[in-house]
Structure 1
Amino acid sequence: MTTIIALAFLIPLGIVLQREAREEAIADAAGRSATVAGALLVSTEPATLDRVIDATGGDPAGRPVVHGLTANAAPRSGGGDTAGDSRARSRGEDVTRAIQGRTPLVVDVPGGVVRLEPVPLTDRVVVVEVFVPDAVLHEGAGGTWLMLLVVAVGLVVVSVIVVDRLAARAVASARGLVKAALAVGDGDLDVRIQPSGPRELAEAGYAFNRMADRLVTSRTDERELVADLSHRLRTPLTVLRLDADALDSDDTSAGSFSDAELDRRRTIRRIRQAIATLEGEVDVLINTTRKTVTQDTGPAMCDVSEVVRDRMVFWAALAGDQNRPHKVLGAQLRIPVRVPRAELAAALDAVLGNVFRYTPQGTAFEVVVSRRDGYVAVRVDDAGPGIADPDRALRRGASDQGSTGLGLDIARRVAQQANGSVSIDRARMGGASVVMLLADAEAAPRQMSRFGLVGRLARERDPGNRRWPRPRATDN
């Protein structure tokens, strides 16, 4: 655009300068012609005219020529009757036209132009011819165009530098805004930006800072509300714990008991364990939500295998009471992910709780942990009836079983917190297969091709469609 503007301005300027140079050369010829015309009004002697013509100076080829100096002499083609120079360049009809018109004429001739100026004398009209060669007409044109070209290049270079600096400021402001937005998306609500750049980007920066302040306030209020609600649960939990303590002993290791008595004592044990677990979770909620946002240091990390082993200690006892065969595969090695331990445990409990809640007693299940391609998969399979509508099951608050519909949504939100997803498929065992896909915290970043990145972004727009290959099940 700058080049076009420079050319649109400088090309007409060059033409005007060239035209002015031509007019200046013709004006100089008019001055020399006027000198000779003045001498003719004083004297028509050839010797006197020769001295005047010599006095005009300049190139000999361009010195004035006088037509019709001899009385009654008609002008001829090639110069006619002349004084001072017999090499006239004008044609006879041009000289005649100048005499008849009594006005100066500028006529193009080979090699340049001639200026014909009629001079009325007492008994006749003579014509003073001055030849201006092309070299004089275009004198300095090459330098003028070269200067204009240099000016155009200079304007383009300067404009590019100025635009680059302005664009650099705008790009730097946009990059800072994007970086801050990504940081907020990763959970860092302390990030703020210094608004800069063009007015629109500066306004966007101020709006971003206000948004971040509102998010901090809303998150703090939400945590305080959760803490208050969690604290309200202490009273009914205390009553439940006192009632559980008042029950009979749950010891089944000493003495011999009937099957009914064993079931009763195991039930008492599970009640006490559930109350203790619930009290612990309430304490964690209160302690976690009481922390201010400024005390958060970034996303927490936990070991997936350790969480799976720990939670299966609880669920294995319940599975034994319900005669449910179960397996735990792939939970031997440490596999870190960027998810708080309590949240991953809650997600796993939500998925396993659905198995116990919606499948008949005696239904087998397995928990498999696998690691591949920068992701960690926690898969829970069962041999139950499966899930008829996986998409509906993943929607928050939607349930076909009369529950709150929050279990799988908890798992989905935890997985998304770790840059992953949750998917539901048909299990090899015949029932439902729920896969929580989490980003591996120790995975090295991969250099992906441009088309690979496009494909990756397309898959991330619909994380529910991501599938995870199921490894061959083996006993742990």
Structure 2
Amino acid sequence: MRKRLALLVAGTTVLVLLAFLVPLAVLVRDFAEDRALSRAGDAVQTIVPLVGDVGGLRRAVTAQAVPVTVFLPDGSALGAPAAPTPAVRLAAARGRALTVTTDEGRELVVPVVSGGRTTVVRTLVTDEALTHGVTRAWLTLAGLGLALVLLGLLVADRLARSITRPITELSSVSHRLANAELSARAAPSGPRELREVAGALNHLAGRIQELLTAEREQLADLSHRLRTPLTALRLEAESLRDPEEAARVAAATDQLARAVTAVIQQARRPPVAAASCDAAAVVRDRVAFWAVLAEDTGRALTQSVPAAEVPVGVAADDLGAALDALLGNVFAHTPEGTGFAVTLEARPEGGAAGGAVLTVADAGPGFAESAARRGVSEGGSTGLGLDIARRVAVSFEVGVAAEGGAEVRLGLPGAAG
């Protein structure tokens, strides 16, 4: 914007200066010509009354500041050496004063008739005399015009700064808000319109902060309400007669309690700009948890996870929740005995921080056509399982697995350097 304003002011200033300086330059040139011709005319008029007095003519011609030649009737000449020109001969023949433009400049010829004989007074105003001082005047005007253009650019730059600086600050605040820095606020400055925008942005930021705080509290309260049925479930598990069954149910209950606690902590945790984890470790941990249930339901589990670390730009809790959602769909929407596979592949591009691809595939009936849309489920559930997985991914693909069932591929972002 600063550049455009500067160009606009420069163009406008140049046009205005041209509108004034060009006519002024022409006027200066015409004034110089009129001054030179007037000086020559005055010299001729000084000599004309002396025609007939040769001695007076000789003294008058010598005293003039401009070259003057007097052609006498006998063919002789007084003053500046010059040969009779066509203008001199024409003036002598017609008896009329002439002003003729020649290659050397302007020639003034005045005939004087005395006693039937014609004396011609001639002076030459050279081109140099006609333009004397014009070049210097034009340079002065050009320098004045350039100074005015530079002054206009300086004023335009300061004006543009007063406009662009608040806009840059507003942009910076918006980026900080986008990076979860919800305390960022813009200082109202600049023109009235920009101050109104800054006030609106601050109001929006405050409103977002209020809504997020309320949402976190509601989520935390909802998660806290689950503790009562969990406590009852744990008591029921302890009352089971089979020790192994009691231990298994108690372990599952403890796992659910830890998940609820994690939800509460995550809901009350302030948002952060970036998070990362070792995707391989998280996938191995969650697959080990679901392997017990897979064994109980007769499901063949295949996993392919790199032994080395696979850093991704996703929090461990979020990645674990996404994988749990995908595996929960497998157990909820496929018949018992249906096998499934979990594959984690590090992306080769970008080195160790290039991210990874997490794939969950099964040999079940597959997804319905509308299953990939948020909040849509054909199995009576909330339909948010896939959306939980979608939120941690930079790419999300739902397709058909090689076994004929459903396949979900999550493109996980690379860890920040």
TM-score range with shorter-chain normalisation?
0.7 to 0.9
CA distance in 1 between partners of 2:195 and 2:84 (Å)? 75
1:168-188, Cα deviation, whole Å (9 max, x unpaired): 787776665545444433333
Pair 15,355 (structure 1): closer, same or farther in 2 beyond 3 Å? same
Residue 346 of structure 1 corresponds to: 321
| 1:45 correspondence with 2:40 | no
Deviates more, 1:85-94 or 1:312-321: 85-94
C-alpha displacement at 1:430, in angstroms? 2.3
- The root-mean-square deviation of aligned C-alpha atoms, in Å, is 3.8
Unaligned runs of 5+ in 2: 1-6
Aligned pair count reads 400
Residue 395 of structure 1 corresponds to: 373
1:263-342 alignment, distance < 5 Å:
265=245, 271-291=249-269, 293=270, 296=271, 298-342=273-317
CA distance in 1 between partners of 2:298 and 2:379 (Å)? 23
Pair 19,183 (structure 1): closer, same or farther in 2 beyond 3 Å? same
CA distance in 2 between partners of 1:229 and 1:241 (Å)? 19
| 8 A Cα contact 1:89 1:114, kept in partner | no
The correspondence for 2:358, drawn from 372, 378, 383, is 378
The correspondence for 2:212, drawn from 219, 232, 239, is 219
CA distance in 1 between partners of 2:231 and 2:94 (Å)? 126
CA distance in 1 between partners of 2:332 and 2:171 (Å)? 44
CA distance in 2 between partners of 1:304 and 1:90 (Å)? 106
| 8 A Cα contact 1:35 1:56, kept in partner | no
Report the secondary structure of 1:429's partner residue.
Answer: coil
1:394-423, Cα deviation, whole Å (9 max, x unpaired): 3211223332111111111122xxxx1211
Q: Which has the higher contact order (CA 8 A, sep 6+)?
A: 2
The correspondence for 2:341, drawn from 357, 366, 369, is 366
Residue 95 of structure 1 corresponds to: 91
1:17-32 alignment, distance < 5 Å:
17-32=28-43
Residue 459 of structure 1 corresponds to: none
| 8 A Cα contact 1:89 1:109, kept in partner | no
| 8 A Cα contact 1:89 1:131, kept in partner | no
**Percent of residue pairs identical:** 38
C-alpha displacement at 1:245, in angstroms? 2.9
Q: TM-score, normalised by structure 2?
A: 0.79
1:245-264 alignment, distance < 5 Å:
245-246=238-239, 248-252=240-244
CA distance in 1 between partners of 2:136 and 2:149 (Å)? 20
Report the secondary structure of 1:347's partner residue.
Answer: helix
1:333-371, Cα deviation, whole Å (9 max, x unpaired): 222222222221111111111111111111111111111
C-alpha displacement at 1:225, in angstroms? 1.8
Pair 160,314 (structure 1): closer, same or farther in 2 beyond 3 Å? same
C-alpha displacement at 1:162, in angstroms? 6.8
1:48-127 alignment, distance < 5 Å:
48-58=56-66, 62-63=67-68, 65=69, 84=79, 87-89=83-85, 91=87, 95=91, 106-116=99-109
| 8 A Cα contact 2:313 2:415, kept in partner | yes
Q: Which amino acid in the other structure matches residue 364 of structure 1?
A: G
Residue 405 of structure 1 corresponds to: 383
CA distance in 2 between partners of 1:18 and 1:106 (Å)? 19
| 8 A Cα contact 1:423 1:435, kept in partner | yes
1:104-123, Cα deviation, whole Å (9 max, x unpaired): 76432232112356779899
Deviates more, 1:229-238 or 1:11-20: 11-20
Report the secondary structure of 2:336's partner residue.
Answer: coil
| 1:426 correspondence with 2:406 | no
Q: Which amino acid in the other structure matches residue 379 of structure 1?
A: T
Unaligned runs of 5+ in 1: 74-79, 253-264, 445-476
Report the secondary structure of 2:62's partner residue.
Answer: helix
C-alpha displacement at 1:278, in angstroms? 2.5
Q: Which amino acid in the other structure matches residue 56 of structure 1?
A: Q
Pair 22,421 (structure 1): closer, same or farther in 2 beyond 3 Å? same
Pair 319,156 (structure 1): closer, same or farther in 2 beyond 3 Å? same
